[in-house]
Structures are given as structure tokens and as C-alpha cells.
Structure 1
Amino acid sequence: MPDVPVVSSESLGWSDLKLWGWESVSPQEAFEPALQSHLIVIHGTPQPVKVFERADGYRGEGVAKPGDINIFSAGDLSYCRWEGELSFVRLDLSTRLTDQVAAELELFNTGDAIDFGRSIRLSDERIVQMVQWLREDVQSGGLGGRLYTDSLTRMLTVHLLHRYGTPSGHRRALPQRIDRRQLDGTLQYIHAYLDRNLSLDEIAAASHVSPSHLVRLFKDATGLTPHQYVIQEKIRRAQKLLIGGMPAHEVAAILGFSDQSHLHRHFKRLLGVTPREFVLAIR
């Protein structure tokens, strides 16, 4: 396998999820006797490729098509041999995160091991879409920020747990809404730290709600995800700073945007004009 993938999250400092993408890898074998994390592989080769695969409890051959997904649980053996050039995305999802999210959602009894089974060449459009968004964020150099990545990673983990996890014990009812006091505290925290690259865990702590529940409850209460709300409020504050005469590059730095083009992109997406066009219009 090539030493350097065409896409890699390694430089972004992600801890609970690693993403790599390879293109047109020549026919060969890939083998891991015991996976350290849960493994998700999404095939992306335009043409079907004949593959032979082995995992704990599975041995067989077939044809991998674009969008086919393999899921293996941590601790499993993973083996694949392919007979034509293969393109794919690989995600390693930490057991620490899946254990944490499962506990927050109360899907398992305390101490239960999480097993996603061994799913070979399955079809799941939600996984494909979320992984595509994560890949695009890696390709942009993490432009979406920690909150965006955290939210996507949590959404992916929750989906995997609900659809492919093997819970033991009874599933409890999820919280239905965030109360007014919790919401007020959350919004106050966001506004106090708009200049920071906020994470989902930080906002959840201010809300006294688990990160796994926060995205759904926050959107139910505000109509926006935490990430969408944070960007909206950053742009509102940017308008005030621009009206006050602050240059766009300073506004971007003060509000925690990665650079001026990051501010420009979100500003135009939400308001329909660039920061410069906005300033010229109010003069």
C-alpha cells in the first residue's frame, strides 16, 4: 500500500477519529491481526473490483462497488486482497468515543463491550454522506473547526451505535428537549467565547447535556445545530466590528476564523455579500 495517502487527518490533531484516503492502489493484500479501533472502509473505485476478505466469523469473495462499506469491530482480524486498482477511504473510530457515546445514550449496561459485528459491502447512504463531509473538511485543512468535526463524528457514532451496535440491556428514553435555563446558559457561553474555536464537548458542558444529545436538542430549540449557530453569531459580531471600522483581516483574527478567506466564505454565504461589499454599502 502507498506510504502516503492522498488524504489524511493526521496533521489536524483529531484524537477519536482518524481518516485516510487512497486512490488507485495496485492489487495487493492488507492484513491486521487485531484492530486497535473500530474500522470503517468505503470503496470509491469507479469500476467494480474483485476482492477476497476475511474477518472474525467471515471468509468470502465478492465484487466491491463504489459506495460499498465494510465495518469491523475493534479487536477483530481484518484481511483484504484485491485484484484491480482500488480507491477507498478508511476511518478508525476509537473505542473510547464509542464507549462514551453509548454510555451517554444509555444503550448498553455499564461495562458491556460494544460490537458492530462484521458488515461486508453494505449500503448506507448516511455513513457515505457523513464520511464525505469529514473528508472534505480534511481536504480544506480543517476549515470547519473543532465544533464541526466533533458534531459530525458524534453523529456518525450515534448512527453506527443505533444501527449496527449490539446493546445488551434495555434502551432508555432519550431526553426530549433542553429546558429554557439550559438553553440560556448555552447561548451565554457561546457568546462569551465566540473568539474561540469552540468544541462540542465545551458547549455540552455549559448546557449540562451530553454531547451526543446536544446536537439534536439544540437544533430542536433553535432551528440550528450548535455549529451553524456559532457561525451565525460570529458573522453578526463581524458586521458590528466592520461597521465600527475594523479591517476584515483583524475581524477574522478576533473572531477565531482560520483566516480572512474563511470569514469571507461564511459572510457571503449567510448575507449574500462579501465583507468589503458590506462595508461599501453602509458608507
Structure 2
Amino acid sequence: MNGGAQVKAWRPGISGVVEVLHAYFPSHAYPSHTHDAWTVLIVDEGVVRYDLDHREHGLAQSQVSLLPPHVPHDGRSVHPSGFRKRVLYLEPSRLGPGLVGAAVDRPEYVDPVLRRRIHQLHDVLADGRESLESQSRLALIEERLQQHLRRQVTAPPDPRDPTVATRLREVLDGHLPEGIGLEEAALLVHAHPTHLVRAFTREYGLPPHRYLTGRRVDLARRYLLEGRPPAEVATLAGFYDQSHLTRHFRRMLGVTPGQFVRP
């Protein structure tokens, strides 16, 4: 590996993502190679040039690149200062084998909404603790990628579905404090995960993961007012540890758990 390169790679605890890669390459150039996964790539610094199936492409910071599985590609920096990138590697079944040709024909998208969602998912995966949020964000990303691949120009169906939203709320309320994964919730509600997220968000004005976090903060408040210490409250309310509780508590109420009960 070239001197100065910085690489962080891990497999997150979320179904469908086989690897996450954050890297800075000041001079490294990838030789031609393939992956057995869909490669969702964004560039944070620099510009990348690559050949996909013997055709040259470029990726700037405003774009998203989707490279299909089993199709040769390489990669190199356009500028001498190198490039910084973040990558999601998705299982082949997540987008479907019938869409590979569309990705070969057009692997880059100028889509600010998609890029922002990918950025947000990376932040959640780097934290490693918000499983429902990461699953929800991944579902919306996959849906938007599929829309690009299928060249859908018509508007998506209206996601309003109060019955589904209400059932999901009941499932979330019934799984405090331990929480529940998006796919498991979808099976219980009998709805597609993406439709579940959209219907809930449209009905209640916030996504399921944020609702669940708010309910956990409410639960933590009750335990704090009973006189329990914050470290114990964090576990009882479904947070990973006291720092996890404090971060969300401060975001919700503007004070730490200790300040909340301070005389």
C-alpha cells in the first residue's frame, strides 16, 4: 500500500451490507478487478477516474457511483493530491441481477438526495449503535438506486398508509426497550420495509428510528425521576451505555440526564 494511505474497513451488523470502507489514497491506483457485491461509492475529496467494462468514467464529489458485481473496473486519482472515498458493498441480491446492465450503461448519478442519504448512513454505521436507523436509511437508499437503474421517470406511489403506520407504532411500542429490526417489523406488519418507513414518516412526521429513540428517552426520564443512576437507566431504557443515553438525551432535552434531575 502506498505511503500515507489511510484505510478503515469493517463489516457492520446490518443485513445486506457486506463491508464498509473509508479510505484516503494519496497516490494509489487500483488495477482492474471485480467484486461479488454492488459497490456504492461517494468521493469526499478529489476526483476519481475509472474504467468500467472498458469505458472510462469519472466521479466527482457531487455524484454517486454504483458499480455492479462481477464487472471489471479500476480506479485512480485525477489530481496529484489523491482522493478520499466512502464505500458501501451491498449483497448482490439487494438490487437484483437483472439491473446489472443498467449500472454498466450508467454508473454515476447526480442526485443530492441519494448522496445525502448515503452520507447519513455512513455516519450511523460508523457509530455502530442505531440498528433501526441504519436499516431504514439503507432501505431508502436501495429504493432510490433501483429507481435510477430502472430509469423510472414516473412519481413513486403515495406512501400514505395510516393502518400500516399505526401497526408499526404498536410494534415499536411493544418492543421497548430492546428494539426491533426493520425486516422483523416488516414481517410482523406484513409490509415491505421501504413502504413501512415511508408510511410511518408520512403519518407521524418522523422516521421510525427517531420515534423509537424518543420513546426510549421518555422511558429514561421516568427511571431518572425514580432516582435511578444514569448508568443503570441507560441499560433499562435500551441504550448501549451511559454516553449513548447522554448523547440522545441532550439532543432531545438540551441537558444531560444528571442535569435533568439535579435539584
The answer, yes or no, to whether TM exceeds 0.5 is yes
Q: Which residue of 2 aligns with 1:86?
A: 83
For residue 95 of structure 2, give the secondary structure of its aligned residue in structure 1: helix
- Asked whether the 8 Å contact 1:54–1:60 carries over to 2, the reply is yes
- Taking structure 1 as the reference length, the TM-score comes to 0.79
Residue matched to 2:255: 273
Pick closer, same or farther for the CA change 1:211–1:240 going to 2, 3 Å.
Answer: same
The AA in structure 2 aligned to 1:114 is L
SS at match of 1:70: strand
Give the counterpart letter for 2:61 in structure 1: P
Instruction: Return 271-280 or 229-238, whichever deviates more.
Output: 271-280
Q: Tell me, yes or no, if structure 1 residue 117 matches structure 2 residue 107.
A: no
Displacement, 1:268?
Answer: 1.4
Between 90-99 and 155-164, report the one with greater CA deviation: 90-99
**In the alignment, structure 1 residue 150 sits paired with structure 2 residue 135:** yes
Determine if contact 2:14/2:135 at 8 Å carries over to the other structure.
Answer: no
* Structure 2 residue corresponding to 1:139, chosen from 126, 149, 153: 126
Aligned to 1:102: none
1:260 maps to which of 238, 242, 253: 242
Structure 1 residues 246 and 120, CA gap change in structure 2 (3 angstroms): same
2:193 is aligned with 1:198: no
The number of aligned residues is 256
**1:31 alignment counterpart:** 32
Structure 1 residue matching 2:45: 3-state secondary structure: coil
Instruction: State the partner residue of 2:117.
Output: 130
The 1:257–1:73 alpha-carbon spacing in structure 2 relative to 1, beyond 3 Å, is same
Deviations 1:204-243 (A, max 9, x none): 2232211010111001111111001101111111111111
1:60 matched to which residue of 2? 56
* Matching residue's letter, 2:13: G
Offset at 1:8? 2.6
1:104 corresponds in structure 2 to none
SS at match of 1:113: helix
User: How far apart are 1:263 and its partner, in Å?
Assistant: 0.8
Contact 1:114 1:166 in 2 (8 A): no
Q: Structure 2: 5+ residue runs without aligned partners?
A: none
State the superposition RMSD in angstroms: 2.8
* Code of the aligned partner of 1:73: P
- Deviations along 1:44-84, one digit per CA (max 9) or x if unpaired, are 224x56x3x3222x52365x533343222223222224463
Q: 1:164 is matched with which residue?
A: 149
The secondary structure found in structure 1 opposite 2:98 is coil
Which of 190, 208, 219 is the aligned partner of 2:201? Answer: 219
Is the Cα–Cα contact under 8 Å of residues 165 and 196 in structure 2 kept in the other structure?
A: no
**Take 1:2 and 1:218, find their aligned partners in 2: how far apart are those partners?**
47
